[in-house]
Amino acid sequence: MPPPTFPSVNGRPLVLGHRGASAEAPENTLAAFRRAMELGADGFELDVWRCASGEAVVIHDEDAARTGQTRLRIGRTALSRLRELDVGRWRGELFRRERIPSLPEVLDAFPSAVVNVEMKSGHVPDLGLALEVARTIRRHQAEPRVVVSSFSAALLAVFRALAPDVAAGYLLAPGALWQARAAAAVRLLRPAAIHPARQLVTPARMEAWGRAGLRVLVWTVDDPSEVERIAALGVDAVVSNVPGVAREAVRRATGR
C-alpha cells in the first residue's frame, strides 16, 4: 500500500487554527472553526475524546469544567447530555449557546477544510477512540484532508493499524526525554509526520526529519516573527491561535 497522503498546498506551509481561531472565539466550537476559515486558514486543529455513548466529541479537556461550567467527565457522559452544555458563554454573550460538536458534525460542516484531529488520552488510553475516529473519517471519505495525531503511542498504533491510508503524526513536547520518545515512536509507529512544539524546531532537526521522510507540523505558533522563521525552514504546517496573523507571516516568508 502506498504511504498516506499528507494534506498540502503548493509552495508554502498549511496554516491551521489551533482549536479553531481560539484567540477570537470559544475553542473547539463551530464558531471558532468558521472564524479560522474566514481568516484565511487552510483548516484547523481540534481535540477529541470518546463520550459514554461512543461518539468522538470535540473538546480539549477530560471534563467540561473549564468551557462548560460543569465537572461532567466526557468519557462518562452521553452525547445527548453533553450537547445540552453551553460551551460558548465563557467567551462572551456573542457566543452563547455554542455546543460541543461531534467529529462527524465538524467534517460535515467544513467539507473543504484540512482537519488535524488530536486524539486525547488519560492515564489509560481509550483504544476505542482510535476505532471511532477511523470509522468517522472513512464514513465521511475525508482521508485526503485529515491528519490524526496524539501524544499516546498506543492510540496512534491502533489508529495506524485501522487506517493506514490516513496520515498520522506523533506529537512532541519539550522535556528531558523527548528525543528518546521521538526516536522510539518513529521506529515503531512509522508515522507520516512528526508534530513538534515550536521550541523544538531547528534547522538541524528539520534536516534530520526530512531525511527520515517525515512531514513536520508545528504547534502552537502565534508570534509573526516565529511563524516566519519556522515557515522559512520548510515545515509542512503551522498551527496557530491567530491563523490570520500566521497566514500573513507565511505569505511574507514564502511569497505565497
Cα-based torsion angle of the residue sequence 2, 191, 61, 235 in order, rounded to the nearest 10 degrees: -100
60, 123, 140, 195: the catalytic one is 60
Q: How many residues does the chain have?
A: 256
195 a catalytic residue: no
Q: Is 18 a catalytic residue?
A: yes
Smallest CA-to-CA distance from 52 within 21, 30, 73, 33 is with 73
Nearby residues of 1 by Cβ (< 8 Å), 6 or more positions away: 164, 165
Q: Give the burial class of 123: count Cβ atoms within 10 A of its Cβ; 0-12 exposed, 13-18 middle, 19 or more buried.
A: exposed
Separation between Cα atoms, residue 115 and residue 110, nearest integer Å: 9
Q: Which residues are catalytic?
A: 18, 60
